[in-house]
């Protein structure tokens, strides 16, 4: 665990103890920890073609399939990154992989995103990913979302309606509100339509996120679920947060989403 990740965990713990406001969520982890969790060789995610990855969150789950079974799930990629331009080298992405298979990019900033109904700036809307498994046996489904290049803005992935052979894999599409039989790393939790997007099936869906820039100065956490945070803004010039002038730092107000313990920019 690096210093940046450790500080994020400390802030989350302090807030949880102070008011129980973000206890339901955790934080994204560095790429090295994410790849180790997923069993990927070093730099697998950076080698996916979207640039160097820095942090992310993921789930995985092993299941059995018969020859010819179709594995299907719905996904919605969300981001607050600036959409691609000639000067923008950031390209956060969501991915999927199966044991013995390569990492497949589900969606990124070039995925034809539209304005989001959530606190994220843009989203893909729910889409469907399908693969037909020609051989029977055990497979491990791995799904995640990552930041690339820097930590300046957040991205997320909603997942729902995972089926194998036309049947829901388990958890009734996360309707029980848990991640039973899944293992996860980073920020992985079940949310409802109150997140800002209705699930593609049922009333609940899985949310994976990359977290806000964690090197922040906490100004207040005095009840009511309101925080003031000074967030160091990374410029596209490549300057680190400590090298940027005070005028380039942004003051943000965050509020907790009632009942979820998650934090979203207002």
What is the mean pLDDT of the segment spanning 44-52? 92
Distance CA 143, CA 207 (A): 11
Distance CA 32, CA 45 (A): 10
What is the mean pLDDT of the segment spanning 79-99? 85
Each residue of 200-256: pLDDT tens digit?
A: 999 999 999 997 434 432 332 333 343 333 333 333 333 333 333 333 333 333 333
Q: Which two tokens stand for residue 185?
A: 């790393």
Q: Which two tokens stand for residue 9?
A: 């965990």
φ, ψ at 242 (rounded to 5°) = -80, -15
3-state secondary structure the chain: CCHHHHHHHHHHHHHHHHHCCCCCCCCCEEHHHHHHHHCCCCCCCHHHCCCCEEEEEEEEEEEEECCCEEEEEEEEEEECCCCCCCCCCCCCEEEEEECCCCCEEEEECCCCCEECCCCCCEECCCEEEEEEECCCEEEEEEEEEEEECCCCCCEEEEEEEEEECCEECCHHHHCCCCCCCCEEECEEEEECHHHCCCCCCCCCEEEEECCCCCCEEEEECCCCCEEEEEECCCCCCCCCHHHCCHHHCEEEEEEECCCCCCEEEC
What is the mean pLDDT of the segment spanning 47-66? 93
Q: Which residues pair with 226 in a beta bridge?
A: 255
Length of the chain equals 266
- For residues 113 and 120, the answer to whether their CB atoms sit within 8 Å is no
pLDDT at 151: 79
What is this structure's pTM?
Answer: 0.72
pLDDT at 256: 32
Find the range with the poorest average confidence among 15-19, 59-63, 150-154, 162-166. Answer: 15-19
End-to-end CA distance of the chain: 30
Residue 109 or residue 152, greater confidence: 109
- For residues 83 and 89, the answer to whether their CB atoms sit within 8 Å is no
The single residue listed with the structure tokens 């996120």 is 209
Distance CA 155, CA 109 (A): 10
Confidence of residue 19 (pLDDT cuts 50, 70, 90): very low
pLDDT at 26: 72
What is the mean pLDDT of the segment spanning 2-7? 52
Distance CA 81, CA 68 (A): 39
């Amino acid at each position: 665990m690096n210093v940046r990740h450790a500080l994020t965990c400390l802030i989350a713990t302090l807030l949880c103890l102070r008011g129980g406001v973000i206890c339901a969520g955790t934080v994204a982890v560095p790429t090295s920890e994410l790849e180790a969790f997923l069993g990927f060789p070093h730099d697998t995610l950076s080698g996916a073609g979207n640039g160097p990855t820095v942090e992310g969150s993921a789930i995985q789950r092993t299941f059995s399939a018969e020859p010819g079974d179709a594995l299907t799930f719905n996904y919605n990629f969300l981001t607050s990154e600036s959409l691609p331009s000639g000067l923008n080298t950031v390209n956060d992405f969501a991915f999927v992989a199966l044991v013995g298979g390569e990492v497949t990019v589900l969606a990124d900033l070039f995925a034809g995103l539209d304005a989001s109904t959530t606190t994220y700036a843009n989203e893909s809307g729910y889409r469907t990913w399908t693969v037909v498994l020609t051989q029977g046996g055990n497979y491990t489904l791995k799904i995640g979302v990552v930041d690339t290049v820097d930590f300046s803005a957040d991205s997320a992935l909603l997942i729902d309606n995972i089926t194998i052979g036309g049947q829901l894999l388990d958890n009734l599409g996360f309707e029980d509100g848990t991640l039973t039989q899944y293992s996860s790393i980073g920020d992985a939790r079940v949310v409802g339509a109150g997140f800002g997007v209705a699930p593609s099936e049922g009333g609940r869906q899985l949310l994976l996120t990359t977290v806000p820039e964690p090197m922040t100065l906490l100004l207040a956490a005095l009840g009511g679920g309101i925080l003031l945070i000074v967030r160091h803004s990374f410029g596209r010039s490549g300057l680190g947060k400590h090298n940027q002038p005070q005028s380039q730092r942004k003051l943000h107000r965050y509020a907790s989403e009632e009942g979820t313990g998650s934090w979203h920019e207002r």
